[in-house]
Amino acid sequence: MLISISLNICPKDVALPEFLPRLAQAGFQGLDFHFHDVAERIDWHDEKSAERFLEPLARSADLAGLKFVQAHGPMFNMFSDAPKDEKSRALCVPAIRACGRLKIPWMVMHPEVFSGAFDTAHYAALRDRNAAFFRSLLPECEKHGVGIAIENLFDAAGKYDGRKAGRFYASVPVEQCELIDALNHPLIGACWDTGHARIMSLDQRAGITALGKRLKAIHIQENDGHGDDHLLPFHCGVNGVDWTGVMAGLRAANYGGAFSFETHHAFRALPDPLFDHMLRYSTAVARHLIALRP
């Protein structure tokens, strides 16, 4: 598995193209393009502006021997008519286009939830409305050769941004599989977030195994079950993620994608002299975990 990391760790005062060689020097091989972090930097609806932003990034990655392996798409409440959510929805097509430009095979997106009884009828409505939204993006995905990997969230996220839901749809594997299977398209798959699964107290091995061939991307991150902390593995001791289970699940699912960190909180407060040490430590952790894969 290629060792990858989300570009949301890039220090705010450093240009992304200038940052990539540091990742290569630390031993990273792959990149997770974090569209959400750069959504406000340019007018993404202007293809010339987008190319001026993406071309130096693509060139820097090539020179550093790095490959874009996955991406974070726009994040929003898709069933909300709030202006900020409508604006994010409008960025989905430019984000898919940007992924195509960077030759990214899978863009990770969140499913969504709306309040209700969470009975049989409500679950069916959640599945169908989520499926309708993702289906609407498939023509653009087909045009640019970019898949959508639907991520497992966690129930507490159902209370964010006025959703007023006690659960979050597809926070458990059976619902993820249900939604992906309802879409039934080769450019629809799953992303497994280890930290979200820890908050849900899920069996990592069983959850990943259940996704099986649907699994196209992973977010490797750590917490103790109480918050979405995005720390490096092993930083929560016995209360953290079952990493042996994670690696066994990836083996059982025959996962062939990148081993990709989403660990920005581990870097947030680091002074620059320590930053590259933490990058090298991160790749050492990745190599250790990959060696655990039975």
pLDDT in tens, 43-57: 999 999 999 999 999
Strand partners, 31: 5, 68
Strands (E), the chain: 3-6, 30-34, 67-72, 106-109, 147-151, 188-193, 215-219, 259-261
CA pair distance 196, 221, nearest whole angstrom: 9
Residue 269: is its pLDDT beyond 90?
A: no
Residue 261: closest CA among 239, 238, 280, 237: 280
SS3 109: strand
Neighbours of 131 (CB within 10 A): 20
Which residue ranges form the domains of the chain, and what is each CATH number?
A: 3-292 (3.20.20.150)
Per-residue pLDDT at 194? 98
Distances (CA, A) of 48 to 142, 144, 233: 22, 17, 40
3-state SS, 117-161, equals: CCCHHHHHHHHHHHHHHHHHHHHHHHHHCCEEEEECCCHHHHHHH
Q: What single-letter DSSP state applies at residue 213?
A: G
Measured in degrees and rounded to the nearest 5, phi and psi for residue 35 equal -60, -35
Structure-token pair, residue 1: 């598995």
Over residues 202-222, the mean pLDDT reads 98
Residue 250: is its pLDDT beyond 80?
A: yes
CA pair distance 172, 156, nearest whole angstrom: 13
CA pair distance 30, 282, nearest whole angstrom: 13
Per-residue pLDDT at 14? 93
Per-residue pLDDT at 184? 98
Structure-token pair, residue 278: 């933490």
Residue 58: is its pLDDT beyond 80?
A: yes
Residue 95: is its pLDDT beyond 80?
A: yes
Per-residue pLDDT at 135? 98
CA pair distance 31, 41, nearest whole angstrom: 19
Strands (E), 160-247: 188-193, 215-219
Residue 72: closest CA among 135, 5, 19, 23: 5
Assign 3-state DSSP to the chain and report helix, strand, coil percentages, each to 5.
Answer: 50, 15, 35
Residue 193: is its pLDDT beyond 80?
A: yes
How do 259-261 and 188-193 pair as beta strands?
unpaired
Residue 294: is its pLDDT beyond 90?
A: no
